[in-house]
Amino acid sequence: MKLIRWSVCVASLVTAASPALAGDAKGRFVVKGGKASGTIAPTQATAFVARDPRDARNKVAEVVLSEAAIDVDAAVATLQPHTHVINQDVIAGRNYVLLWVASDGHVSMNATFGQTMTQFVDAVGDSLKATLTVNTPERVAGRIFTVAPVKTMGGDTYTVDLTFDTTVTRLPAGTPLGAGGGAPGKALAAFLSAVKKQRRPAIKAGLAPSAVATFDESYNSPEENASSASDLLQAWLPKSGLKIVGGELRGDTADLDVEGEMFPGTNALYLARLRQIEGKWLFDGAGMVGTLK
């Protein structure tokens, strides 16, 4: 497949079962020609459970090949570990390679030059190859490489030959929640209804303490805070067709799977987190985790 070069600007939770240790990474990703000429030479490999870029309903291992070890335990405790990782201080401004390794052996890649945020995106096919020696829920290891220099649409060429071996960090298994999300799902629906109707007392009453500051700015009037809540949720949850399709319960934390339209014609998967405090399920945050087929 032809590679497209593009640039973007990236703008106490449940913990993993045990502290994660970085694995090993060796090799180089080399770009020649154009403004992005340079080398990425990672030494650290870290992996965590993420959503498949091809279809967010499926889970894959996201592997971070970096020059310094990331805080993977902090990342997996959030709703959006990928976003958390690429915004960590040890990654900011540095070069790194991301791999998404699916259970069927498919591998996709995003190599990023941190100073310019220039990204090289590709997937296994004619030019990019991957050999996996281990691909289990607990560990991934293998090699990703090119058999010849790959020319991008921007005129650059790249070669890659990287090996990696690391455990996959994941949260402890929770109790599945069915369609509708049970009691947490009902609480989310009530909270969204309060926001839609601009019912200010109900909005504030439906928030977990950790989320209050986001929705209740002291410099805003109550009416402005209610309007701001609506704007935030428009960014964090589907614009239309919102449906709670399932989720997972871990103690007093529920992460709900929410599907709907990101914009007309494009469906996406979102996660919404609620916390049970004094017997009530309260909204703690939400975000989009990937598009759907």
The per-residue pLDDT for range 236-267, each reduced to its tens digit, is 999 999 999 999 999 999 999 999 999 999 99
Asked if residue 165 and residue 24 are part of one domain, the reply reads yes
Of 169, 190, 205, the residue that ends a domain is 169
Task: Report pLDDT digits (tens) over 40-72.
Answer: 999 999 999 999 989 999 999 999 999 999 999
Asked if residue 73 and residue 24 are part of one domain, the reply reads yes
Asked if residue 76 and residue 38 are part of one domain, the reply reads yes
Q: How far is CA 36 from CA 60, 81, 151, in A?
A: 29, 27, 13
Q: How far is CA 27 from CA 143, 161, 164, in A?
A: 9, 6, 9
Over 50: is that where the pLDDT of 13 sits?
no
Of 138, 169, 200, the residue that ends a domain is 169
Asked if residue 227 and residue 137 are part of one domain, the reply reads no
CB 141 within 8 A of CB 134: yes
Of 136, 151, 169, the residue that ends a domain is 169
Give a yes or no: residue 226 inside a domain: yes
Over 70: is that where the pLDDT of 93 sits?
yes
Give a yes or no: residue 13 inside a domain: no
CA distance 160 to 108: 13
Give a yes or no: residue 149 inside a domain: yes
Asked if residue 182 and residue 136 are part of one domain, the reply reads no
Give a yes or no: residue 12 inside a domain: no
What's the CATH code of the domain at 275? 3.10.450.50
Q: What is the pLDDT of residue 7?
A: 29
Over 90: is that where the pLDDT of 114 sits?
no
Mean pLDDT is lowest, of 11-15, 35-39, 143-147, 272-276, for 11-15
pTM of the full structure: 0.87
Task: Report pLDDT digits (tens) over 179-227.
Answer: 999 999 999 999 999 999 988 889 989 999 999 888 877 777 878 878 8
Give a yes or no: residue 45 inside a domain: yes
Mean pLDDT is lowest, of 114-123, 170-179, 253-262, for 114-123
Q: What is the pLDDT of residue 18?
A: 40
Over 90: is that where the pLDDT of 121 sits?
yes
Asked if residue 94 and residue 32 are part of one domain, the reply reads yes
Give a yes or no: residue 70 inside a domain: yes
Domain count across the chain? 2
CB 76 within 8 A of CB 271: no
Asked if residue 165 and residue 42 are part of one domain, the reply reads yes
Asked if residue 213 and residue 152 are part of one domain, the reply reads no
* Residue among 246, 241, 247 at smallest CA distance from 268: 241
Range of the domain at 217: 175-291
The residues that bridge with 268 in the sheet, in sequence order, are 260, 291
CB 66 within 8 A of CB 46: yes
Give a yes or no: residue 252 inside a domain: yes
Asked if residue 163 and residue 216 are part of one domain, the reply reads no
CA distance 144 to 128: 7
Asked if residue 118 and residue 208 are part of one domain, the reply reads no
